[in-house]
Amino acid sequence: MPFRIVTLNLEQDHKRWPARRPLIEAELARLKPDIVGLNEVSVPLKSARLLRMALSAAAGADYGLVQQTKVNGLSKVEAEAMLSRFPVIESGNLDYRAGDMVALVARVLVDGSPLDVFVTHLYRSRGEESLRLFPGAAAAGVDRYAGPHGAAHRLRRLQRQPR
């Protein structure tokens, strides 16, 4: 079953969020993604919740929201989040124990098969791109990863491959 994943860094409440919000909502409505990975969600502005409501209304589907706040000092201001039109059956998180960073993981059911989706904001790397890879992703059998890859965010049309 083909499905669509979109990732976006919301940059918290920086860079004119009130002006950007309707543009983001319109583009999500146009793209009609099945899963959205969101980085730097503003906790005080409830930006992920607002986008969930807008996308649900525009798509005529009920999107679920899973959100994981950062830790320590950032816990009141920033989070990682995932919106999904697929049922979410489990969620968890990983505290990197450095830089207040976390990874959100959610297991969704796609056409009856479980799919693990990871959303994280990786460290800036000034070296090889391999330094930015999600730690242990291959060993953990990660199905899909949503987050910045050091390139422009892009739409991915993916088809679940049997294991």
Give the pLDDT of residue 130. Answer: 53
- Contact of 107 with 88, CB cutoff 8 Å: yes
- Contact of 116 with 82, CB cutoff 8 Å: no
Where do the domains of the chain lie?
2-150
Give 120's pLDDT tier (boundaries 50, 70, 90). confident
Q: What is the pLDDT of residues 66-89, one digit of tens each?
A: 999 888 877 888 889 999 999 999
pTM of the model: 0.76
Q: What is the pLDDT of residues 28-72, one digit of tens each?
A: 999 999 999 999 999 999 999 999 999 999 999 999 999 998 888
CATH architecture of 2-150: 4-Layer Sandwich (3.60)
